[in-house]
Amino acid sequence: MIELDHFIVSARDRHAAARLLAQLLDVPWEDEQFGVFSPVHINRGLTLDFIQTEGPFPVEHFCFRVGDAEFDAILQRIEAAGIAWRSSVRGPADRQVDTSYGGRGIYWNEPEGHQWEMLTASYARKTS
């Protein structure tokens, strides 16, 4: 079995970026680890390690599959934080939920420009 353990996420302010994502997802995070990372512990098997980057970095896309109750709670936190969100991968912040793939999904780009996606049913693969 192969599992993704961690992923390094570039940020201008690693502390702020990690803290905001952890607050939105309601998961634990650490201000500092190994002197260079601010890790966000997505679940028992995956950590996003935010690293401070001064130079240009590519905008990455991260997608979280969540249950219906988690979706509702995270969306409430996104709205409470005043973050613009949308129903399509690109397009205006229409504050609509996409239901095209048998579940619900949204996208947002805070805080460092990375594209975050949340969905309740994967369109990338069928899960059992």
Per-residue pLDDT tens for 10-26? 999 999 999 999 999 99
What confidence tier does 127 reach under pLDDT thresholds 50, 70, 90?
A: low
Residues 18, 13: Cα–Cα separation, whole Å: 9
Q: Would you say residue 57 has pLDDT above 90? A: yes
Q: Please list, residue by residue across 20-37, b when 16 or more beta carbons sit within 10 angstroms of its beta carbon and e when fewer do.
A: bbbebbebebeeeeeeeb
118 in Cβ contact with 68 (< 8 Å): no
Residue 105 bridge partners (DSSP): 98, 119
Q: Which two tokens stand for residue 50?
A: 């935010």
CATH topology of domain 1-55: 3.30.720
Instruction: Give kind and range of the element (H or E) at residue 105.
Output: strand 105-108
Q: Where are the domains of the chain?
A: 1-55, 58-128
Q: Quick one: pLDDT at residue 128?
A: 47
Q: Would you say residue 125 has pLDDT above 80? A: no
Q: Which two tokens stand for residue 77?
A: 């936190």
76 in Cβ contact with 66 (< 8 Å): no
CATH topology of domain 58-128: 2,3-Dihydroxybiphenyl 1,2-Dioxygenase; domain 1 (3.10.180)
